[in-house]
Structure 1
Amino acid sequence: MNLDVNTRDNIEFMIEEIKNKLQIVNAAALNSKSFDTEQYEELRDIYEMIQKKSSFSVSELDAIVTELGKLRK
């Protein structure tokens, strides 16, 4: 998958990967349709940061979820 391209499929892929990596219980809270292509670069930055880490503290999880919430339309 080429994440350099801003597509709806790439947004859906990144959101699913973020949900899996963070083990988000309420997966409906992060619906890929809630993210617009205008926020693609910010979403990709979050995705790439999450992929580099193997674990997250509670405060890191809170900050990530807060940032994702700000990107939702």
Structure 2
Amino acid sequence: MNLNTVSQENVEYMIETIKTKLRMATGAAMQASSFSTSNYEDIKDIFEMINSKDRFSISEVEAIVSELGRLRN
């Protein structure tokens, strides 16, 4: 998948990957379709940070979820 191309499909892929990687209990409440390409670079930054680590502290997960909440439409 070419994530250098801004598309709604890529946004949805990245959000679903983030939810899976963080094992988010509230993942169902965070629909990938609630995010738009207008925040593509911010979402991609979070996606790349998530993929660079294997484990996250509770405070890191809370911060990531908070930031995703800010980026939702």
TM over 0.5: yes
Instruction: For residue 25 of structure 1, give the secondary structure of its aligned residue in structure 2.
Output: coil
TM-score calculated relative to the size of structure 2: 0.95
Q: Equivalents in 1 of 2:68, 2:35: separation in Å?
A: 9
Residue in structure 1 matched with residue 18 of structure 2 by the alignment? 18
In the TM superposition, residue 26 of structure 1 has moved relative to its aligned partner by 2.0
Unaligned stretches of 5+ residues in structure 1: none
Letter in 2 for 1:54: D
Q: Say whether residues 1:31 and 2:31 are aligned partners.
A: yes
Partner of 2:57: 57
Letter in 1 for 2:7: T
Name segments (4+ residues, structure 1) moved above 4 Å: none
Over aligned residues, Cα RMSD in angstroms? 0.7
Identity %: 51
Unaligned segments of structure 2, at least 5 residues: none
